[in-house]
Amino acid sequence: MTTVHGTCHHDCPDSCGWTVTVDDGEQGPVAVSLRGRPDHPYSRGELCPKVNRFLDRVYDPDRLLHPLRRVGSRGSGDFERITWDEALTEIAGRLHGVIERHGAEAVLPFSDAGNQSVLAMMGLSSRFFHHLGASRLVRALCGPTVGAGMSMTNGSVLGLDPLEIEHSRLIVLWATNTRLTNRHLWPTIEAARGRGARLVVIDPIRTATANAVDLERGDRFLQPRPGTDIALMLAVMHVLVRDDLVDRDWVRDHTIGFGELCDHVADWTPGRAADITGVDAHEIEALAHDYGTIRPAVIRTLIGAEHHENGAMFHRTLACLPALVGAWRDRGGGLARSVGSWQDLLVDDHALHRPDLLDGRSPRWINMSRLGEALTDDEHPVHALIVWNSNPLVVVPNAELTRRGLERDDLFTVVHEQFLTDTARYADIVLPATTQIETSDVVLAWGHLWMGWNEAAIPPVGECVSNTELFRRLATAMGLTEPSLFDDDLTVLRDALPSVDLEALRRDGWMKVPYPDHGRPWADGGFPTPSGRVELVNPRLAAMGQPTVPTYVAPNEGPGGSPDLYERYPLQLLTPKHHTRFLNSSYPQLPRHGGPEGGPFVEIDPTDATARGLTDGDTARVWNDRASADLPVRISDRLRPGVVAIPFGWWMQHHPDGRVANSLTNDTLTDWGGGVAYSDTLVQVGRASTSSSSARVASM
């Protein structure tokens, strides 16, 4: 038996350490156990229900182990096995043909954080597509909008290490379901509560985290209508100014625009915000007084709230609050979001991505959130789509438009995957991909400060290859000669992380990235804005067509937006991460992951259900102008009236009519930052026709 240490690769803030036990038998190495690494400084031996059964994924009988060529219609899932040579020859020939006839911009790479390790996520792919001159992808489904918003206030995305919450006395969890999606931070929060800290949870859904609120000890749960949080923040600012709860010394020394902000929030009374948010005015008053009087006070948020039309403004406005009360001066005070930005400081982006390989060309940018639009664009069509590290037909909004694009006969699609996902079913060529225990890599955590090493525990299963090996093979097959396209993995890592001792990282398993020892990154100001201060007013936003002060604008798909749209579709749809056994679109197809979760459903408040004659277990039709979907009804008190929810991540095969949650969602881009407004989606719900439901099921 051999023991090999590694790091979880999932797009999750926790990036846990694990240990794989390998049986080095006569038939070759076989992983027989995967457990949490007890000495990991953050995860401390605990793994989530997804990764506890990771070996089920590695050795699942449906795992893709060989290259495949489509022989049936697109989406049918009919493929034949071919050799790697056959696959590479066909791909190279088709790509050369597309480039010769339509230009390199007709080739679109599509990937995201299905594996967020350095090599898997960023390795050689950018170099390969820059060298070709292919279209460039704006990868902004999650994350960039948060940073874009915060930067317009603080000039930086660098925030508080969430483990500093142990020093906090007021903990505001705003739009983050910590107990489900950031489980290893919860013990730190509980430890702070054990020392008397109060907890405030703000979320449009009564989540598992909201259920931890204890009103008797002074905790609070606020449940605003989706997309209205900025109105709540402005009312909190109004109370802070009105009742002189502002830290005027810190504001004087480290901010600009305070006077103008005061004028702006003067009429943002709690009553006005209550009408918009649905949160009682006295609850807003109480939140503001707690935030203005209890120190240290921390706000913890992640990426959920960026999925609104005003997503960047949400995070810009949120970043103003710590400045107003001087929270940054205290240890355990400030704003904590992704701390991957501290790790990113160690990455040499130029060496990793080699933009110089564009050789002066400026290929077009295509936002990944508008994939359906790009694939159905007749004027500037995409003729070749290369997908890895992602399942866009499930994760991208307005999925039915993407499906129509993938059905095009003149689109050549290649998917590098571990399973025959919804997207892979539409591919012309499917290539088998390694799992995390089959390749060595470095993981840049975004929920804590420990960069992790992942050591390959077993050789690749079947004919699977890593992402970097895939692009080396493609470069060879296409006859490319640029030397950097053939760098080995260690060379890429050394170039990408020039200040990191990779041998020490490999030996120890992790390395804590630099962070202020005193735990107060902005205690003395020094913000990297043009003024060197927190910019409560930012004149640069005017050039972007945005308000210079924090401003609430109602989303178009919402109660305060288009009256015609709201009249036809009076329910706001949320698509939350609901499950404990799978993440995004990974794992639902595995029996011991998707099975116990029970399948997708539409969750609805009793008031809305009664108005539509729906009872628990009925089949409902959920629809808007983009699509319709038939789903079982689940009635609960977790939602406000006027809000419904469909859990995100289930594949077509799990939905009665093959329509996934993102068939319905809004692909409008955010105010700035390139994100997308999944959570500003309006729908109507009614009883499904029995005959139509049966017909749809029969056609699957």
Consecutive H or E run containing 97: helix 84-102
Q: How confident is the model at residue 693 (pLDDT cuts 50, 70, 90)?
A: very low
Q: Tokens 């790697």, residue? A: 84
Which of 114, 116, 111, 113 has its CA nearest to residue 16?
Answer: 116
Where in 471-556 does DSSP place strands (E)?
510-512, 534-535
Check the CA dihedral 297-334-16-51 and report its sign: positive
- Tokens, residue 187: 């013990």
Q: How confident is the model at residue 581, as a pLDDT? A: 87
Q: Residue 404 and residue 402: Cα distance in Å, rounded?
A: 5
- pLDDT above 70: residue 700: no
What per-residue confidence (pLDDT) applies to 699?
Answer: 34
Phi, psi of 523 (to 5 degrees): -60, -40
Q: Identify the residue with better confidence: 581 or 322.
A: 322
Pairing of strands 68-70, 79-81: antiparallel
- The b/e string for 554-565 (b: 16+ C-beta within 10 A; e otherwise) is bbbbbbbbeeee
Q: 457 vs 25, 54, 62, 190, CA distance in Å? A: 14, 13, 21, 35
Selection from 209, 435, 231 nearest residue 300 by Cα:
209
pLDDT value at 26 more than 90: no
- Inform me whether the pLDDT recorded for 85 exceeds 50: yes
pLDDT of 217 above 80: yes
pLDDT digits (tens, 9 = 90+) for 364-403: 999 999 999 999 999 999 999 999 999 999 999 999 999 9
Per-residue pLDDT, averaged over 653-673, amounts to 96
* pLDDT tens figures, 437-461: 999 999 999 999 999 999 999 999 9
Q: Is the peptide bond before 296 cis (omega within 30 degrees of 0)?
A: yes
Q: Percentage of the chain surpassing pLDDT 70?
A: 98
Tokens of 320: 């103003």
Split at pLDDT 50, 70, 90, the class of 577 is: confident
Cα-based angle 533, 539, 544 (whole degrees, multiple of 5): 125
Cα distances from 660 to residues 303, 393, 435, 476, 675, in angstroms, run 21, 9, 25, 38, 20
CATH level 3 topology of 145-337: Dimethylsulfoxide Reductase; domain 2 (3.40.228)
- pLDDT of 152-194, one tens digit each? 999 999 999 999 999 999 999 999 999 999 999 999 999 999 9
DSSP class of residue 45? Answer: T
Question: If we measure between CA atoms, which residue out of 184, 152, 324 comes closest to residue 251?
Answer: 324
Torsion of CA 286, 291, 297, 302, to 10 degrees: 80
- Type of residue numbered 288: A
Burial 364-401 (b: 16+ CB within 10 A, else e): eebbbbbbbebbbeeeebbbbbbbbbbbbbbbbbbbbb
Q: Strand pairing partners for 25?
A: 28
The closest alpha carbon to 279, from 232, 234, 341, belongs to 232
**How far is residue 363's CA from residue 361's CA, in Å, rounded to a whole number?**
6
| 488 neighbors 124 (Cβ within 8 angstroms) | no
Instruction: Report the distance separating Cα 11 and Cα 117, nearest Å.
Output: 9
CA distances from 332 to 296, 453, 519 (A): 6, 29, 8
Tokens of residue 431, six digits:
């290539």
Digit-coded pLDDT (tens) for 508-519? 999 999 999 999
Class assignment of domain 563-699?
mainly beta
How far apart are the C-alpha atoms of 688 and 639, rounded to whole Å?
A: 22
Domain layout of the chain by residue ranges: 2-58, 68-141+343-512, 145-337, 563-699
- In 3D, which of 91, 97, 110, 106 has the Cα closest to residue 383? 106
Token pair belonging to 147: 């940073």
Whole-structure pTM value: 0.96
Residue 221 pLDDT: 98
**For 30, phi and psi rounded to 5 degrees?**
-135, 125
pLDDT tens, residue by residue, 400-430: 999 999 999 999 999 999 999 999 999 999 9
Q: What is the mean pLDDT of residues 34-40?
A: 97
Helix (H) or strand (E) holding 473: helix 467-477
Indicate if the pLDDT at residue 694 is higher than 60: no
CA atoms of 130 and 107, how far apart (whole Å): 11
Cα gap 509→15, rounded to integer Å: 12
Residue 142 gets which letter from DSSP? S
Rg for the chain, CA atoms, rounded:
25
Closest CA to 163 of 194, 193, 183, 185: 185
**pLDDT-derived band at 697, boundaries 50, 70, 90:** very low
Encode burial over 275-299: b for 16+ CB neighbours within 10 A, e otherwise: ebbbbebebbbbbbebbbebbbbbb
Give CATH for domain 2-58: 2.20.25
Confidence grade of residue 690 (pLDDT, cut at 50, 70, 90): low
User: Among 366, 367, 374, 364, which Cα is nearest to 402's?
Assistant: 374
Q: What pLDDT digit, counting tens, does each position of 529-541 carry?
A: 999 999 999 999 9
Could you give the CA distance from residue 158 to residue 138 in angstroms, rounded to a whole number?
22
One-letter amino acid at 78 equals D
Question: Using an 8 Å Cβ cutoff, are 679 and 311 in contact?
Answer: no
Average pLDDT, the chain: 96
666 CB-near residues (< 8 Å, 6+ apart): 397, 398, 557, 676, 677, 678, 680, 681
Q: Give the Cβ contact number of residue 181 at 10 Å.
A: 23
What is the number of other CB atoms lying within 10 angstroms of the CB of residue 642?
15
Which fold is adopted by the domain 68-141+343-512?
Rossmann fold (3.40.50)
| pLDDT reading at 27 higher than 90 | no
Q: What is the DSSP string of 316-373?
A: HHHHHHHHHHTGGGSTT-EEE---HHHHHTT--HHHHH-GGGGTT--PPEEEGGGHHH
Helix/strand/coil for 384: strand
- Count the Cβ atoms, other than its own, within 10 Å of residue 432: 23
Q: Are the C-beta atoms of residues 672 and 609 closer than 8 Å to each other? A: no
